[in-house]
Structure 1
Amino acid sequence: MSSYYPIFADLNNRPALVVGGGHVAARKIASLLKAGAQVRVAAQVLCEEVTQWVKEGRISHIADTFQPGQLNDVFLVIGATDNAELNRQIASEANQRQKLVNIVDTQELCSFILPSVIDRAPIQIAISSQGTSPVLIRLLREKLEALIPHHLGEVASLAGKWRDQVKTRLGNITERRRFWESLFASRFNTLVENGQTRLAEEELEQQLNGHTSQPGEVTLVGAGPGDPELLTLKALQAIQQADIVLHDALISDEILELVRRDAIRESVGKRAGAHSVAQEETNQRLVKYAQQGLRVVRLKGGDPFVFGRGAEELEVLKQAQIPFKVIPGITAALGATAYAGIPLTHRDHAQTAMFITGHCRPDGSELEWKTLARGKQTLVIYMGTIKAEEISQNLIDHGRASTTPVAIISHGTRKNQQVHTGTLAQLPELAKLAQAPALIVVGETAGLHSNLKWFGE
């Protein structure tokens, strides 16, 4: 967990103390001046750049030495000296007075750190490693600098100029957000980039005059098995554009962190032994939110059409005449087995693969165990650990050898992934060791795990 709280501070016309007058201090002073701070310097020797700022009246040289009383009326203090004892004194006196303090290159003495900044004023992007890896942050900043167009600052300035007018014309916050999203993705952006500010404002006004409310819609999104980097580009775009996300209980925190910050997130998942939301209630929520004009994402683990009841939800939306679309995801049978080094098919071991669920409808028909027990195929069983003994016995009774390799993959594709391997006869005992959520793999290809494993321990 991060120990720093990211924040942008308004230093305009606020006094700031810099102890030190060398080249390092000059860099800090320059950034403070850019933020509009009233800079006071305490140092015996000033470098040429700092001396010039003093002569120009841009900063104040208040003393040759640091005195604790200099901290009384400043907003923050930066220590930029090469005297370790003095730096510790500055930090101690600042902390006693509840002043923000930064001691250059001495993280343990800092109550705040200065991030690396990509500046597209008024847009600022700050990145930090909490002082652990400055070189890595420098490399990352170089990449971001190349990716972020310089004209975005002008785009933001024009948006700020028109913000009140847009707010007056579009009273609904959802409509305002959609207007800005549409505008920034339109010809307006190109006009700003080309320096055609007047035409850009005319385009903005024209789009504002012609803006119409959009109906709500539902997007059924497959989140994959857990690793956030397995999300498709379309899935990522959908969850970042959603007004509300209804997600399964097993969606990883890393994926939920990618949801837009001001979007509503509701858990509607179902887990054994825990509170769950009935499917009928989930269906009703999807309809209700869409009818309110919201962009709704129904975020499901894996793929929504593989044991995800996605079709049932779409049937309800169709009946209610709610627009919808589907973004498929990597199902656990593909993702978890790949991360466990278990191929679903192999020329020497398995020519087919079958996916089944260990949870069937109470009134459902009996599984075709004779078909499932055939050799030369890989059987992947979702949600089957609770019925592991029944599965093992039926497969053996219908012809599958008790020595057939099996694997149970828990938390597939995630950092805490675990793989338990053994034989079909051992499946009930393996299931007791496995953490949920877990996937059972039965077949000769499961025996390749020990040779092909590549992810995790």
Structure 2
Amino acid sequence: MLQPLRKPSEAEPERLGRLAKLPVFFDLRGKRAVLVGGTPGAAWKAELLASAGALVDVYATDVCAEMEALIARGASDGCLTLHRLSWSPQILHDAALAVGDFEEESEAETFASAARRIGVPLNVVDKPGYCDFQFGSVVNRSPVVIGISTDGAAPIVGQAIRRRIETLLHPSLSAWASLAKAIRERVMEQLPAGLSRRTFWERFADLAFQGCPPEAMGSSVDTVLRQIASQPVRTVGRVTLVGAGPGDSELLTLKAVRALQAADVILFDDLVSEDVLELARREARRLMVGKRGGRASCAQDDINDLMTHLALQGKHVVRLKSGDPMIFGRAGEEIEHLERAGVPVDVVPGITSGIALASALGVSLTHREMAQSVRFVTGCAKTGRLPDNLDWRGLADPRTTMIFYMAGGTAGAIAARLVEEGFSLDTPAVMVSNVSREDERWAGPLSGLDEASARRDRSKPVIIGIGRVFGRAIQSRREHNPLLALQANA
């Protein structure tokens, strides 16, 4: 039965949520900073301030070995001066900011009161109640600097986040950022605003993330610039088909995130989660072009025409599809349409829901003792019924694991056809809604699949797995894994 059509509709990005702290970057170059204390913690703060170009005056009558060593060797920038004196309010005059490290609460309170009377922003180490600002974890690819704050609640978590980001950013990014700063005015003068300038910086950013320093492209700035600019400027935009995976944003590939961050327009399906969309460039237009069984859907021809129209305007269009775009996603039709129109198109794969199902259940789809192949099968034709041309005899091979997509309404018919071909009614089966997002799960024998499908929430997409590999998971993990809890009595 033909479903009603609907037109693409624009979706507003989510409004910015509450910020525990405002992330700002303070220019301290050539400015005086006061630090009171001689502890190892104070030594770290002194080095951090000086590395930002500050002229750091350290006041302490007793200093630790770390502070002595720091003063002796100096910091990478700015300067450090040790005053073996107790602090007084007078030392805070003309300071850009002040930092104190005190054991006693009364000392911290006195220091904070003195700084606030003068109007100097202050930080008291490990005493957030007296702080106007906090030091977070820092990822240093200067001039790229990333600060991470947990609002003082979990510094260890902040450090773990820093380590994760460090692995994503190659050290050569620092050299590329420095080059960008040096050539920015020249690019602004020589390239017109719009597609030409955007194309140059996109090429620049792509090179910056390839892990090679700019010096690898030539010995001078002019040589590097010529190599970046030598490719002809595109007169049209491009389309990137991106797999959004099964819903969990952490399952996106790095390439998918970069595509979302570079998009001018995003055409997304109903099944794409809000968590995934939150990773997109905030300035990008977002157009829902939902395609859902049993609901009003955008016509595929309209989607094809819209992508082409936007790309021919010079836009970078991301077609964001749930799962993997190349599995039951009509990617082939879209690629053919775009290529006929002369629009460049590339594909970023995603985790298809069949693979996400296996991971969620801890099941190897081709466990060598049970299955030698896996088949991804469409469970629904345009008519809303089972496709007429499925190879049921081949599917009924007990050494094959079957994953049925879009099969919520045809689950009973699938079970019946497999039984006709000799499948046992006791064959293990699973059915999961919104895999990877902690939704409804059912597991049991093939004989119960029809009844489980009848009880499902029809507003949610399901994926069905059938085969011996699911038996071991059901038997060994039913009591311990909520993903496998039987829903028969729900």
TM-score, normalisation: structure 2: 0.70
Show the counterpart of 1:290: 311
Identity %: 34
Show the counterpart of 1:342: 363
2:171 to 144, 149, 159: 149
Show the counterpart of 1:446: 470
Maintained 8 Å contact 2:324/2:352: yes
What are the superposed Cα offsets for residues 152-190 of structure 1, whole Å, 9 maximum, x if unpaired? 545433322321221122223443233234356669x97
Residue type at the aligned position of 1:203: T
Q: Give SS of 1:298's match.
A: strand
1:408 to 407, 427, 431: 431
Gap runs ≥5 in structure 1: none
1:137 to 114, 138, 159: 159
User: Structure 1 CA distance, aligned partners of 2:373 and 2:168?
Assistant: 47
1:430 to 440, 452, 477: 452
Maintained 8 Å contact 2:217/2:224: no
Q: Give SS of 1:439's match.
A: strand
1:206 to 226, 236, 259: 226
Maintained 8 Å contact 2:56/2:79: no
Distance 1:368 1:142, change over 3 A: closer
Residue type at the aligned position of 1:315: E
What are the superposed Cα offsets for residues 312-357 of structure 1, whole Å, 9 maximum, x if unpaired? 2223223323232334444222332243133444566556544333
Structure 1 range deviating more: 166-175 or 28-37: 28-37
Distance 1:191 1:144, change over 3 A: closer
Residue type at the aligned position of 1:224: G
Show the counterpart of 1:28: 45
Compute the displacement of 1:226 (Å).
Answer: 4.1
2:200 to 179, 193, 215: 179
Distance 1:96 1:313, change over 3 A: farther
Residue type at the aligned position of 1:430: A
Distance 1:245 1:212, change over 3 A: same
User: Structure 1 CA distance, aligned partners of 2:190 and 2:33?
Assistant: 42
Distance 1:139 1:402, change over 3 A: closer
Matched, 1:217 2:238: yes
Matched, 1:382 2:405: yes
Distance 1:149 1:392, change over 3 A: closer
Distance 1:73 1:451, change over 3 A: farther
What are the superposed Cα offsets for residues 252-304 of structure 1, whole Å, 9 maximum, x if unpaired? 45544554566555443334687754433322221022112233332222222
Distance 1:441 1:35, change over 3 A: same
Show the counterpart of 1:319: 340
2:321 to 300, 309, 333: 300
Residue type at the aligned position of 1:336: L
TM-score, normalisation: structure 1: 0.74
Higher RCO (C-alpha under 8 Å, 6+ residues apart): 2
Residue type at the aligned position of 1:307: F
User: Structure 2 CA distance, aligned partners of 1:298 and 1:195?
Assistant: 33
1:7 to 24, 38, 51: 24
Show the counterpart of 2:14: none
User: Structure 2 CA distance, aligned partners of 1:175 and 1:74?
Assistant: 45
Residue type at the aligned position of 2:181: G
Maintained 8 Å contact 2:361/2:473: yes
Q: Give SS of 1:117's match.
A: strand
Compute the displacement of 1:401 (Å).
Answer: 4.3
Structure 1 range deviating more: 271-280 or 326-335: 271-280
Aligned length: 448
User: Structure 2 CA distance, aligned partners of 1:273 and 1:72?
Assistant: 71
Q: Give SS of 1:381's match.
A: strand
User: Structure 2 CA distance, aligned partners of 1:351 and 1:36?
Assistant: 63
User: Structure 2 CA distance, aligned partners of 1:305 and 1:146?
Assistant: 27
RMSD, aligned CA? 4.9
Distance 1:169 1:27, change over 3 A: same
User: Structure 2 CA distance, aligned partners of 1:95 and 1:272?
Assistant: 63
Q: Give SS of 1:8's match.
A: coil
Show the counterpart of 1:115: 136
Maintained 8 Å contact 2:175/2:213: no
Gap runs ≥5 in structure 2: 1-16, 484-490
Q: Give SS of 1:426's match.
A: helix
Distance 1:133 1:160, change over 3 A: closer
User: Structure 2 CA distance, aligned partners of 1:195 and 1:323?
Assistant: 26
2:105 to 84, 102, 115: 84
Trace 1:219-234 onto structure 2 (pairs within 5 A): 219-226=240-247, 231=252
